[in-house]
Amino acid sequence: MTNTRLLRFYRPACLALLALLSLTACSTSTIIDEYRVTDASLELGNGEQVVIMGRRHAGEYETEPDFINCIGNKLATKGKLKVMPEQVFLDSFYPWFEPRVAPLKLRRMGRMLEEPLIAERIKALGIRYMIWVNGNTETTEKKGTFSCAIAPGGGGCFGFASWDKASSYEAIIWDLKQLDEKGRVNVETKGSSYLLAVGAPIPFIAQVQGDACDGIGNRLKGFFLKGAPETLPPISTNRALSNQRALSNKRASRESDD
Amino acid sequence: MEQMKKTRFILIPRLTLVIASILLAACSTNVTVTGDYPSALTRSMPYHVGLVLDDSFTNYTYESGEEQDVNMALGKSQTKLFNQIFSDMFSRSSQLQTASNAPAQNIDLIVVPHVEEVQLAMPFETRLNVFEVWLKYNLQVFNREGEPIADWLMSAYGKTQTRFLKSEEEALDQATTAALRDAGVKLIIGFKRVPEIRDWLEAHPESTPLAQRGSQ
């Protein structure tokens, strides 16, 4: 009798909590800043290709290879752009783009291209643009606890945990033919994930890195293909893509790092 | 009955030993480094180099018994790397078992690498979500007469972030492969910059063709 009363009391409370969680869970917010030197699409001749590289010189983090592959796949969708896989590029130019010696600035890249061996291979492979991506995704906060137990009669989990993730990436496009910078894209994504365990664990995972990849990939695609930013994914009910700011040409006078 | 007692007497300690050794092995991390290394994009120097890789180098295994038992066999992988790099850096490279074989093969430079030190940093030690590996080599360089030219201490570093559901073995393999790739970078870029080696290279200009020297 007492159990029935308890169930009557807790069932609506649990359902309300679940409904609340499903409304707020997995929400991510993305801010994209874009800077273009010119409004015109970047030209890419026949046989020319793009390479996307992750920065890995910092001690405390490395730009994830999976993230670089994800952006590459976004750019290469439907075969409109030819993208060279990062590892293939690194192996073809070993040791010149390894973390210890990779050029951080365009001026250093220019000096590297004075070496005929490197310049010839760049030309032979038709690499026109090099996109450097710097940043990472990290867990910023963890709250709550849950535990699982197993016994001869069965098992289960009980508890609640939540964690916040934040992605921050910057992509810089270098034109290796003209040896200048063509633009930058900054993306900041934040999101919270939850794990509710009442018997079985029910996860609500926010795709923080995935959303950052969508944001940066589609923006970069817009540099090469006209109208590509329109291909941004539709904003779903539980995924808020907010505050997209295109700063095209506003910072055209901004000097490159060099 | 007697027979059964005898069998038990023999079997029980053996079983205990087997179980104990299985449990011990389960607590240690055993890694065989499996990395592959690309061909280097570098101009080869016109010398015949003899790379002395003895058993202590080719079968090198790092063993750490501090907080956690780690056995890491990196001999084969580092042998692959050194052979690859030296064959790219020089117009001719031969692997030797001992330096005494060098004069018979008309070798210009003899390089004898030794592993000086290996250090690992695991997430449980550093509280960081990263596996790190440091390698320190001592490269002794001799001329064809066996006179020492340089003693070069070279260090390399590699790291890998822990990935979801990735085993410690895989992460350590990746971090060590990254450290060996970094060692290759150091070899290619740093070898000519070692003052004693640079002096030797200047004293023996590249213009002296190897074939000509071989015919002398």
Q: Name the residue facing A91 among B38, B43, B185 (closest C-beta).
A: B38
Phi, psi angles (nearest 5°) of residue B44: -85, 140
Are B38 and A64 an interchain contact pair (Cβ–Cβ within 8 Å)? no
Please, what is the angle between helix B75-89 and helix B168-190, to 10°? 30
pLDDT at A239 over 80: no
**Predicted pLDDT of residue B26:** 54
* Chain A residues touching B41 at Cβ < 8 A: 92-96, 117-118, 121
pLDDT at B87: 96
Confidence bin at B97 (pLDDT 50/70/90): confident
Q: Which tokens go with B59?
A: 């079968």
Q: What total number of domains does chain B contain?
A: 1
Is the pLDDT reported for residue A113 higher than 50? yes
The pLDDT of residue A84 is 96
Cα(B77)–Cα(B73) distance, integer angstroms: 8
In this predicted structure, what is the pLDDT of residue A5? Answer: 62
Nearest-by-Cβ selection for B182 from A61, A100, A118: A100
pLDDT greater than 70 at residue A105:
yes
Is residue B18 assigned to a domain?
Answer: no
Cross-chain residue pair B41–A118, CB shorter than 8 Å:
yes
Instruction: Tell me which chain A residues have a C-beta less than 8 angstroms from the C-beta of B42.
Output: 95, 117
Instruction: Choose the weakest-confidence range: A42-46, A228-232, B81-85, B93-97.
Output: A228-232
Answer yes or no: is pLDDT of B20 > 80. Answer: no
Q: pLDDT tens across B24-38, in order? A: 555 688 999 998 999
Residue B4 domain-assigned?
no
Calpha distance A36→A16 (Å, rounded) = 47
What is the average pLDDT score of chain B?
85
| Interface TM-score (ipTM) > 0.85 | no
Contact B40 A92 (CB under 8 A): no
B10 band by pLDDT with thresholds 50, 70 and 90:
low
In a domain, B50, yes or no: yes
Sort out which chain B residues have CB atoms less than 8 A from A64's CB and list them: 161
Q: Out of A64-68, A184-188, B50-54, B95-99, pick the least confident.
A: B95-99
Could you tell me what percent of chain A has a pLDDT over 70? 78
Q: Is the pLDDT of residue A155 over 90?
A: no
Indicate yes or no: CB of A94 within 8 angstroms of CB of B40: yes
Residue A60: list chain B partners with CB under 8 A. 128
User: What's residue B28's pLDDT?
Assistant: 80
Q: The whole model's pTM is what?
A: 0.80
For residue B175 the two structure tokens come to 């971090």
Residue numbers in B near A100 (CB within 8 A):
182, 185-186
In a 10 Å sphere around its CB, with 0-12 CB exposed, 13-18 middle and 19+ buried, how is residue A227 labelled? exposed
Structural domain boundaries enclosing B85: 32-215
Question: Would residue B22 count as lying in a domain?
Answer: no
Is residue B75 a part of any domain in this protein? yes
The CATH number for B208's domain is 3.30.160.150
Nearest by CB to B185, which of A60, A92, A101?
A101
